[in-house]
Amino acid sequence: MLRLTEIRLGLDHREPDLKAAILRALGISEPELLGFHVRRRGYDARKASEVVFVYTLDAEVKDEPALLARFKHSQHIRQAPDETYRYPVQAPANFGKRPVVIGAGPCGLFAGLSLARMGFRPLILERGKDVRERSQDVWGFWRGRHLNPESNVQFGEGGAGTFSDGKLHTGIKDRGHHIKKILQDFVDAGAPEEILYISKPHIGTLRLVKVVENLRHRIVELGGEIRFESHVTDIIIEDGDVQGRTSAAGGRMPRAAAVRGVTLASGETIATDYVILALGHSARDTFEMLHRRGVHIEPKPFSIGFRIEHPQTLINRCRLGSEAAHPVLGAADYKLVHHCRNGRTVYSFCMCPGGQVVAATSEEGLVVTNGMSHYSRNERNANAGVVVDITPQDFGSDDPLAGIALQRRLEEKAFELGGKNYNAPAQRVGDFLAGRPSTGPGSVIPSYTPGVTWTDLGKALPDYAIAAIREAIPAFDKMLKGFAMDDAVLTAVETRTSSPIRITRDENFESTNTKGLFPAGEGAGFAGGIISAAVDGMKTAEAVAQKITQCRLD
């Protein structure tokens, strides 16, 4: 198989044009081309007047060695790599207690699916409800302000990514071909096949519900188990230094602390020697429990800011020019960064084309925002986070959980500014830049539900963050004309961009001071998004499987 890159075609091309492009690139006749498929498709919109598709294609040809020799110096024609994912081990007979996975977000689901495929019959414990019941609770909060702290945008089957744009692209390196396997699993579970090759794949919230359900069914078919409304409230840890082991020199070695089980809110205890912590970034009570238990945790940088909404038609015109209405391109997105004079960096985060701003709190008396899109991306507004980077030095304490305390303070302030009824505080961009309160909307109607309260957002974040965002918005306007439009809407507050902590682990994915505990995914500080969390879940499952297998052999 040959891989051809940088095959460029107009927006209105047809499938026969792909074949013709391959024949031209390779200089072969049609009978010499045995078949081909699209490996990747994106578009180049750097010239808004000349938007084109850019393809990577895999082609099967009659005389591959001869063509490889002919194009040995080409950057765009080479042998296609083997991208087959292979599970590293299979469970030995009588492997002992089954591993436990805490959390059924992307990390937990793919950790569980991987363990199940390797024969380890994992038990997945999810504090929230299954995805359909959870969806009812989420919509109940958005429409009626009735928050369920255990079933919401953050907690429940599918994780926080279920109520997002369902983005499936990531910047992580993946030499083990985990991403391709994950995308294929999504397709097998009901996602559109195009996610296998388009450059910025997404599924959207409504389709994710069925996909997540089907992933769960597959885990169960393979011998795994998923239990909902099973909140892990404690980890049973056997203290180290009891008797220990004999070293090669004959002396006694201290024994590390080790996991021996978990305790649920119901009081039930489940014995296990292997726990994958596939927590979301909002599992604050679990972070606090782990800290009390002595599991090593350190503070981690994250970002804070607002959501910003513009008309999607404006973004389309800016990004796609005369092709803005072309049906094959869909809703345009953007990615912006500005380095401020005060040393802060402001950037767009989780951009949701044709979507809405959503209420994303998981605790009573707090307001948190996030963005969401359906697969069609056909809502009137585009929205994105406009967020400022912060570091542990900004948290105001050396406590490892100080970032959580800062998040809560900002979310409590947003609740207060919104009127203490789960309305979110909002302000028009023109008023925000001028430093005056807003009294109502302009041409851009905010999409946040339950509703917004118009106010002055200059009080919603620390002064350094407000100053940075006020500098960044006009700078972004130079990159994307209209970004600073007076009627664009800012909604507060965006604080859960990533986990504020990291549960440290070694090169084998195991906690640095608690054996049998495997921190993974976004909540543990090792991922950011659906795909990176799923990849980390798979890699952690591989590490657990290899350790169990090795222990049985020893």
- CATH code of the domain covering residue 73: 3.30.70.2700
Q: Does 107 share its domain with 183?
A: yes
Q: Phi first, then psi: what are they for 395, rounded to 5°?
A: -80, -20
From 544, 519, 550, 518, select the one nearest 118 (Cα to Cα).
544
Per DSSP, 395 falls in state S
Residue 107 to residue 100: CA distance in whole angstroms: 13
Residue 127 to residue 231: CA distance in whole angstroms: 4
469 vs 163, which has greater pLDDT? 469
Query: What pLDDT, in 10s, does the model give residues 68-101?
Result: 999 999 999 999 999 999 999 999 988 989 999 9
Query: What pLDDT, in 10s, does the model give residues 336-359?
Result: 999 999 999 999 999 999 999 999
Residue 247 has pLDDT above 50, yes or no: no
Query: What pLDDT, in 10s, does the model give residues 183-194?
Result: 999 999 999 999
Q: Does 30 share its domain with 66?
A: yes
Q: Does 457 share its domain with 521?
A: no
Q: For position 47, what pLDDT does the model report?
A: 79
Q: For position 255, what pLDDT does the model report?
A: 58
Residue 198 has pLDDT above 60, yes or no: yes
Q: Does 330 share its domain with 441?
A: yes
pLDDT tier, 553 (very low <50, low <70, confident <90, very high otherwise):
low
Find out whether 141 and 424 touch, Cβ atoms under 8 Å.
Answer: no
Place of tokens 């609740």: 415
**Partners of residue 382 on adjacent β-strands:** 310
Q: What percentage of the chain reaches a pLDDT higher than 90?
A: 85
Query: What pLDDT, in 10s, does the model give residues 357-403?
Result: 999 999 999 999 999 998 888 899 999 999 999 999 999 999 999 99
Q: For position 49, what pLDDT does the model report?
A: 73
Q: For position 206, what pLDDT does the model report?
A: 79
Whether 239 maps to a domain, the answer reads no
Structure tokens given for 106: 């992307």
Whether 267 maps to a domain, the answer reads no
Give 389's contacts (C-beta < 8 A, 6+ positions apart).
301, 303, 344, 345, 346, 347
From 180, 175, 157, 147, select the one nearest 58 (Cα to Cα).
180
Strands 297-299 and 345-359: unpaired
Whether 284 maps to a domain, the answer reads no
Whether 93 maps to a domain, the answer reads no
Q: Does 224 share its domain with 330?
A: no
Q: Does 369 share its domain with 423?
A: yes
> What is the pTM (predicted TM-score) of this model?
0.92
Strands 369-372 and 345-359: antiparallel
Q: Does 314 share its domain with 412?
A: yes
**Partners of residue 56 on adjacent β-strands:** 40
Number of domains in the chain: 3
Residue 240 has pLDDT above 90, yes or no: no
Q: Quick check: helix, strand or coil at residue 294?
A: coil
Find out whether 101 and 112 touch, Cβ atoms under 8 Å.
Answer: yes
Instruction: State the CATH number of the domain containing residue 159.
Output: 3.50.50.60
From 40, 44, 52, 56, select the one nearest 195 (Cα to Cα).
40
Q: Does 320 share its domain with 466?
A: yes
Q: Does 306 share its domain with 381?
A: yes
Query: Cα–Cα distances in Å, from 480 out to 279, 320, 337, 470, 484?
Result: 36, 11, 11, 16, 9
The maximal CA–CA distance of the chain, rounded, in angstroms, is: 79
Residue-range definition of the domain harbouring residue 46: 2-79
From 176, 108, 139, select the one nearest 537 (Cα to Cα).
108
Residue 248 has pLDDT above 70, yes or no: no
Whether 295 maps to a domain, the answer reads no
Q: Does 318 share its domain with 464?
A: yes
What mean pLDDT is predicted for residues 505-516? 97
| H or E stretch covering 234 | strand 232-238
- Count of Cβ atoms closer than 10 Å to residue 110 Cβ: 31
Find out whether 21 and 6 touch, Cβ atoms under 8 Å.
Answer: no
Q: Does 306 share its domain with 367?
A: yes
Residue 96 to residue 74: CA distance in whole angstroms: 53
Strand order in the sheet with 2-10: 33-44, 52-61, 2-10, 77-79
Q: What mean pLDDT, rounded, does the chain reach?
A: 93
| H or E stretch covering 531 | helix 530-553
Q: Does 481 share its domain with 341?
A: yes
